[in-house]
Structure 1
């Protein structure tokens, strides 16, 4: 390959009167090369004039094409590779050519079949939404995070929020936080056909929306649009955002003490990104975002309650099931019908107009979530179940409680165990710190009894000094002190002194 500089020298020499024969002899090249240099100002490079001939493959191209056509109807991971095509041609059809010509043919066929796309212009005020996945470490536990990605294609402004699972509640909660982040509601949002959003695609192409998502759309007066099933490129902007967020926000693997801390950090990264100027633009993302916000509508007076609603019946063990997991309720509501509200981070349970229980939401399967306080009234009646009660397993209480129980049982036996449960029931009405302080004071004073602890808790809350009067609290353990007679001292006098 001759250099551009040699082209320049040969062309300049011939232009100044040097013949082609002399130029060839002077520069040490052939006269054909000189003619080519005079025809082209720079090296034209290799130009193929005819298609590549593969005589050994010519009789087998129809077989290969048939296999590749059949592959369109099977899962992508079970389609023919070039290696597998070569092996079948060799073993089943007597092919004697090499692997390389088979590989080149399949590569060319794949390139010819690739889809082409039209560059799109995005009007202000419209959005796209999707979910992505990445590994994170939350509170020391490595797990998969499902992150909600919300993109405004006109300005490329974004919002990212992570969840333990991509549930219907997470979809809606992500939108609510995104709208709060921007302070406005977009004109429309483009989605794929996720089953959390679309319950069914009808024969005419219309979508039957999921109940929670339909209520969300009605609350924000939002117009929803959908891409073609299986065609993620219909919402290419948010697909690109998912990849961007994974590469820039999830590398290295994020490590945070809680989901709240992780999401606060993600929100800050989205805010910082608004100062960037992307390729092909002269304005920052934040400047272009202003045009989006001008078209978007105002937020409603109150945000949408992003929760899944369900109903259930309490079992004989004071448990109610939600999404394969069981959650406890107070035993007073046993065998009654209750309603449930599944939020992203908690499950709320109510009966009639009363909220009767709240639990952190579990995303495991067949898990049981207890609140020990729900079972204390029943354990007080069935005191023999105290040591085997599953709801109390793993209940970490301050060590003073174990000391109090040991002393109560030593003084009052079975009645002491029941009084200890009564002390635990004080946690139904008072904070743990107040009850713990009362137990410490009772141990220091030697007032080992429920009435004493209850009095001390009230004094702790009301900020007044305790008055443990046995006439007021007749059930406190009394100390029996024996009287000493004068005759008892006679044993101290020896017979010699007498």
Structure 2
């Protein structure tokens, strides 16, 4: 979207380009023009575009409430032009035609920032050096120097022109905004958060607390991630798996709780011990694991999975039981014993038409 604002007397032009025509871009264009001119007009004329006028019935006008709030903050009067009254918006239409013919035609640029940088130089250069329409003996630059002191002063605090909306987060730590997903801390899932976005960044807040700041993406279906968010989620899932494993062990072999407490006192890797004990539980069963852990605790052996494994092996050998070896067969071997229901032989007569003659 090309945003063009022109002062009525001096014809000073402000030009800026955006990637969309949303309300936040519309207001950001205003704020950019006011900053470039170090002031603003007392009255702004608008064509009856949706960003300014939501509904109009004759002289009854319903303004966009966001524009009204912006105008109240800057103390200017928004005024729509009359319908089908071309003389009231001729200045803007001539300025747009001037931009199209003298700036945009055959211009090359790398990206949006480059285009806006060129637009700023053009507004301060060739566009300002053209003759002023009200006084052809002076330039637009000289006319603006006379007009600028009569502009309203800028407010002390800038108006927040960011796009703001509430988003509902599901069970995944991502916020969907503008067809892209942005990460948030996993501690804030299943909540309603606030997204504040400007052309360069996306901020995600929980009330007044800032949760994340991302570079804004204009792709579709992209995942914009902060590494710390992903690492924290992975650590949380690893911790959850560890606690689930401990609970499973404690239910199957209650003596494992005492073994893990002694291992923790020695500073052992509890996650590694838990994983090995769970594999021993699958191979030997709960009763054998419980007995082996009790034997380990009663001895002077270290609270570790290796003494437990050796105790399990001694118990197995004493009973002359073969080792519990897990055999992973390939798919074609595992499926060879699949039950297949044969067809009845009488259906073949139906296929051949009920005759025994050979073709």
Q: TM-score scaled to structure 2, two decimals?
A: 0.60
Residue matched to 2:181: 326
Deviation for aligned residue 1:169: 0.8
Residue matched to 1:281: 136
* CA separation of 1:169 and 1:203: change in aligned 2, threshold 3 A: same
1:271 and 2:117 aligned: no
Counting only pairs closer than 5 Å after superposition, residues 53-452 of structure 1 correspond to structure 2 as 146-198=1-53, 200-229=54-83, 234-256=88-110, 258-272=111-125, 273-278=127-132, 281-364=136-219, 367-382=222-237
- Asked if 2 retains the 8 angstrom alpha-carbon contact of 1:331 and 1:374, the reply is yes
- Asked if 1 retains the 8 angstrom alpha-carbon contact of 2:3 and 2:26, the reply is yes
- Asked if 2 retains the 8 angstrom alpha-carbon contact of 1:331 and 1:378, the reply is yes
* CA separation of 1:251 and 1:368: change in aligned 2, threshold 3 A: same
- Greater RCO (Cα-Cα under 8 Å, separation 6 or more): 2
Superposed CA RMSD: 2.7
Partners of 1:153 and 1:274 lie apart in 2 by 14
Deviation for aligned residue 1:205: 3.4
Which consecutive residues of structure 2, in runs of 5 or more, have no partner in the other structure? 239-270, 273-359
> Deviations 1:19-49 (Å, cap 9, x if unpaired)?
xxxxxxxxxxxxxxxxxxxxxxxxxxxxxxx
Aligned-partner SS, 1:174:
helix
* CA separation of 1:346 and 1:364: change in aligned 2, threshold 3 A: same
> Deviations 1:448-474 (Å, cap 9, x if unpaired)?
xxxxxxxxxxxxxxxxxxxxxxxxxxx
Any runs of at least 4 consecutive aligned residues in structure 1 with deviations exceeding 6 A, and if so which? none
Which protein has the larger Cα radius of gyration, Structure 1 or Structure 2? Answer: 1
- Asked if 1 retains the 8 angstrom alpha-carbon contact of 2:14 and 2:33, the reply is yes
- Asked if 1 retains the 8 angstrom alpha-carbon contact of 2:12 and 2:128, the reply is yes
Aligned-partner SS, 2:9:
coil
Partners of 2:172 and 2:42 lie apart in 1 by 49
* CA separation of 1:255 and 1:307: change in aligned 2, threshold 3 A: same
- Asked if 1 retains the 8 angstrom alpha-carbon contact of 2:10 and 2:132, the reply is no
- Asked if 2 retains the 8 angstrom alpha-carbon contact of 1:187 and 1:295, the reply is no
Partners of 2:85 and 2:122 lie apart in 1 by 29
Partners of 1:327 and 1:210 lie apart in 2 by 30
Deviation for aligned residue 1:323: 4.1
Which consecutive residues of structure 1, in runs of 5 or more, have no partner in the other structure? 1-145, 384-413, 416-498
Partners of 1:364 and 1:227 lie apart in 2 by 37
Residue matched to 1:128: none
Deviation for aligned residue 1:312: 1.7
Partners of 2:52 and 2:221 lie apart in 1 by 25
> Deviations 1:88-111 (Å, cap 9, x if unpaired)?
xxxxxxxxxxxxxxxxxxxxxxxx
- Asked if 1 retains the 8 angstrom alpha-carbon contact of 2:132 and 2:143, the reply is no
* CA separation of 1:197 and 1:368: change in aligned 2, threshold 3 A: farther
Deviation for aligned residue 1:229: 4.7
Q: TM-score scaled to structure 1, two decimals?
A: 0.44
Partners of 2:51 and 2:177 lie apart in 1 by 17
Matched residue count = 240
